[in-house]
Amino acid sequence: MRSTLLRGLCALLLFVLSPLLSASQSAPSSPPPKASAPLLLHQFEDKYRKAASLEATFLERYSENGRVVRVEAGTAYFRRPGKMRWDYQAPERNVFLVDGKTAWFYVPADHTATRVSAKESADWRTPLALLAGDMKVSRVCEQVLNAIDEKPENPEHAVLYCQLRGAASKSPKRASGESTSPKLLDSEAVYFEIDTNSGDLVRVLIRDPGGIEIEFHFTNWRMDPVLPDSLFRFDAPKGVAIVNGELPLGNSVVKH
């Protein structure tokens, strides 16, 4: 049906009020003082916490062992409390939706819709429901550090590393803010790239130790757009079969 990564975050990329990411591994280089982790984190949380609804254009890239396997693009919508919708327009149309309780994955061409409890979903986009929640990154990250091994795509940006909750017990203890070598952790790694001028989230990068990499790029953020209730409600078209259980194989990566 779809490739193992993308169909499935956001964190970006499902539980509805679940936090931002899911993975853990290393930490990248510290940006200049003005872009310190605590300052950037505060700027990021404060900006998105003020919005009741959000809209952005996204590009999602899925790679295996350094080779890009699939690239998709579309528009993502978020609304409190805990609702989000990912409308994929290219290369094929499909929808990933969280209505507050249930996560839906619908591919029109297959005439099939899969549903699963949002809290049980292993989809990589689920953590990104944080954008439609209370915007407390601490709910998902044990600590947030300046990245040292992942460079920003733009000099005006900075990259933060999220050490997922529970991952700390598997890695050596260290002082707050101290970087950890990527070789010390055999788990997923999650990075957030933030525009240091606007506080915008521009990229979420998730790396799995098995060689899988999922990357979400965001542009054209709109704060508080008027979004109809119908956008976050899935009404199965006539003739569409509804399947209960896990999302189709290839639309989720790792369960946590």
pLDDT of residue 209: 80
Per-residue pLDDT at 136: 67
Distance separating alpha carbons of residues 231 and 252, to the nearest angstrom: 23
Higher pLDDT, 100 or 153: 153
User: What total number of domains does the chain contain?
Assistant: 1
CA distance 136 to 41: 10
Q: State the pLDDT at residue 175.
A: 38
Dist CA 243 CA 21 (whole Å): 26
pLDDT of residue 16: 27
- Name the least confident of 40-54, 101-115, 159-173: 159-173
Which DSSP helix (H) or strand (E) runs through 46?
helix 37-49
- Residue 33 structure tokens: 């003082």
Which CATH number does the domain housing residue 178 bear?
A: 2.50.20.10
For residues 53 and 131, give the distance between their C-alpha atoms in angstroms, rounded to a whole number: 9
The pLDDT-based confidence of 208 (bands split at 50, 70, 90) is confident
Most confident of 8-12, 81-85, 184-188, 247-251: 81-85
Mean pLDDT of 235-248: 80
Strand 112-117, strand 53-64: pairing: unpaired
Q: Which residues partner with 61 through β-bridges?
A: 71, 215
pLDDT at 132: 53
Spatial distance between the Cα atoms of 197 and 184, rounded to a whole number of angstroms: 33
Highest-confidence range of 20-34, 158-172, 227-241, by mean pLDDT?
227-241
- Mean pLDDT (the chain) is 74
- Output the CA torsion sign for 124, 128, 132, 135: positive
**Tokens (6 digits) for 255:** 């369960």
CB 37 within 8 A of CB 177: yes
Statement: residue 246 has pLDDT above 70: no
Residue 148 in this model has a pLDDT that exceeds 70? yes
- Reported as a pLDDT band with limits 50, 70 and 90, residue 163 is confident
Full residue range of the structural domain in which residue 100 is found: 33-229
Distances (CA, A) of 201 to 8, 16, 58, 107, 218: 19, 19, 11, 28, 7
Instruction: Say how far apart CA 104 and CA 184 lie, in whole Å.
Output: 36
At 187 the pLDDT is: 60
What pLDDT is stored for residue 135 in this prediction? 62
Please tell me the predicted confidence (pLDDT) of residue 120.
65
- pTM for the model stands at 0.74
Mean pLDDT of 230-250: 80
pLDDT above 50 for 15? no
